[in-house]
Amino acid sequence: MRITIFGSGYVGLVTGACLADVGHDVLCVDVDADKIARLNDGEVPIYEPGLEGLIRQNRATGRLRFTTDAAEGVAFGLLQFIAVGTPADEDGSADLRHVLEVAETIGRHMTQYRIIVDKSTVPVGTASKVARVISAELGRRRLQLPFDVCSNPEFLKEGAAIEDFSRGSRIVVGTDSERVRSAMRECYGPYNRNRDKLMFMGVRSAELTKYAANAMLATKISFINEIANLAERLGADVEEVRHGIGSDPRIGYHFIYPGCGYGGSCFPKDVKALAHTAEQVGHPAEMIAAVEAHQRASEEPPVRDAVPGLQRPAGRQDHRAVGPGLQAQHR
């Protein structure tokens, strides 16, 4: 299958390398000429365990190529993945400038049916915006060409991205098109053999799933930090409490390590973007706002011995100082 990926950053490179590794022909497009030159020289601009070898191996077979030629990219693949950055804007919303620029580029150059796949983390309603931009660009060219836009959010952890892509727990695809379902089944077929991990749902549901997942994990981190603060004032050991609640399979041990809060390139911006989306539709998302407020408070130095006479049990360390909450964050 021929696949084009716009964006050669973290998500784009991992996606391109993994799809090429299972036999697809992948062309990665980026506007950064220096980055593309480095990739074509065998230099990978980011570090992710196993990624450099995967890229080198698939470049050698010819299944993975890099270019700055957008027209070539649009002409190449049936699937047009958008995997560009969506940084936080000043008001906390996701900046869709790069996503919509790619949509405009696709509309400017497409000459036949294409499936546009939103891989970037984008707010609910972005697929509709992408479709409008492409339609407008086709209109300027006085063309009526069929296309579909679907959502296929990534669920990668930094440091384990290749494992997450190839052996992840689910592959979420938002679409109402049978043609898209068929193409995405072919795309992910090699990663879907042991059991059916493909989850087809509405486009808006898929877009919200990504934000909901990251917000849920951020909530768990904020919650255990709140318990750690309370444990310190009550003379309890939060590590013992963590084991006590984590043994409940309904809760589990993941993301309940007290630390200095959540971080990384995605949790902070995604929580803010979800809160902004809720505000836009007039819903007071109080829990999301509380998570963000707790994160801001966690950046302040902790108050020691707030209750006179209460001290940390002998031999216990302050686990909040370690900061494992910042390890291996989901994107």
Question: How far is C-alpha 200 from the geometric centre of its chain's CA atoms?
Answer: 18
- Can you give the pLDDT at residue 324? 39
- Can you give the pLDDT at residue 315? 36
- Can you give the pLDDT at residue 303? 52
Residues 34 and 97 in one domain: yes
Residues 174 and 44 in one domain: yes
Can you tell me the mean pLDDT for 313-320?
Answer: 36
Work out the burial of residue 118: count CB atoms within 10 Å of its CB; fewer than 13 is exposed, 13-18 middle, 19 or more buried.
Answer: buried
pLDDT digits (tens, 9 = 90+) for 102-135: 999 999 999 999 999 999 999 999 999 999 999 9
Residue 331 lies in a domain: no
Number of Cβ within 10 Å of residue 326's Cβ equals 16
Q: Which residues are catalytic?
A: 266
Residues 102 and 153 in one domain: yes
Q: Is the separation of the CB atoms in 198 and 175 below 8 Å?
A: no
Q: How far apart are CA 109 and CA 14, in angstroms?
A: 25
Number of Cβ within 10 Å of residue 268's Cβ equals 19
Which residue, of 168, 201, 234, is where some domain finishes?
A: 201
- Can you give the pLDDT at residue 296? 81
Bigger pLDDT: 281 vs 264: 281
- Can you give the pLDDT at residue 302? 55
- Can you give the pLDDT at residue 285? 86
Residue 280 lies in a domain: yes
Question: How far is C-alpha 76 from the geometric centre of its chain's CA atoms?
Answer: 25
Bigger pLDDT: 284 vs 254: 254
- Can you give the pLDDT at residue 321? 34
Residues 130 and 42 in one domain: yes
Residues 196 and 227 in one domain: no
- Mean pLDDT rounded to a whole number for the chain: 89
Q: Name the H helices within 84-177.
A: 97-109, 126-140, 161-167
Residues 6+ apart with CB under 8 A from 153: 118, 119, 121, 172, 206, 207, 209, 210
Can you tell me the mean pLDDT for 303-316?
Answer: 42
Residues 179 and 126 in one domain: yes
Residues 260 and 184 in one domain: no
Q: Which domain holds residue 313?
A: 210-326
Bigger pLDDT: 296 vs 146: 146
pLDDT tops 80 at residue 322 = no
Residue 81 lies in a domain: yes
pLDDT digits (tens, 9 = 90+) for 175-222: 999 999 999 999 999 999 888 999 999 999 999 999 999 999 999 999
Percent of the chain with pLDDT over 90: 73
Which residue, of 201, 234, 250, is where some domain finishes?
A: 201
Question: What pTM was estimated for this model as a whole?
Answer: 0.86
- Can you give the pLDDT at residue 309? 44
Percent of the chain with pLDDT over 70: 90
Residues 169 and 220 in one domain: no
For residue 141, which phi and psi values (nearest 5 degrees)?
-90, 0
The total of structural domains in the chain comes to: 2
pLDDT digits (tens, 9 = 90+) for 41-90: 989 999 999 999 999 999 999 999 999 999 999 999 999 999 999 888 87
